Amino acid sequence: MNEIAQGAIVSALGLSITFAALTFIIAVISLLTRLFQPKPEAEASAEAEPIAATIEEASVSEEEEVAAAIAVALRLIRSANDRQQLGAALESGRGAWWQSNRARPVIRRKS
């Protein structure tokens, strides 16, 4: 058997195993969704009402709003500084760490 035919057989076998495994996984997922059906909507809506009421009761104080605004402003300033430093880092070239690690294989070859 030549190499091309052998490669084609191995490829076909690999693809068939892959798709058989995927088909098996799809069948298992389908079976599990049929076995474990979601709750009826009546029960789900009855449970959702108390949660919505507790969410509405929670309020954010004015101090917390100010603290959140300050945190967002600081993050925006820091991200702007990071973007500005990126150009300088790219223009400066490779650092000493990279150069020292790059030089090690060259030094080993000479000795």
Q: Which amino acid is at 68?
A: A
57, part of any domain: no
Q: What is the pLDDT of residue 108?
A: 65
98, part of any domain: yes
Could you identify the residue written with the tokens 């309020």?
A: 59
**Vertex 75: Cα angle to 74 and 81 (nearest 5):** 90
- Answering whether pTM is above 0.75, one says no
Count the alpha carbons within 13 Å of 67 in the hemisphere toward its beta carbon: 5
45, part of any domain: no
Domain residue limits at 108: 69-111
CA dist 48 and 42 (Å) reads 10
Q: What is the pLDDT of residue 24?
A: 98
Q: What is the pLDDT of residue 56?
A: 55
Total domains, the chain = 2
4, part of any domain: yes
Torsion of CA 31, 32, 34, 37, to 10 degrees: 180
Q: What is the pLDDT of residue 22?
A: 98
Q: Which two structure tokens, joined as six digits, stand for 81?
A: 């500084």
63, part of any domain: no
Could you identify the residue written with the tokens 């400066």?
A: 92
Low-confidence ranges of the chain (pLDDT < 70): 42-59, 81-90, 93-94, 97-99, 102-111
pLDDT in tens, 19-42: 999 999 999 999 999 998 877 776
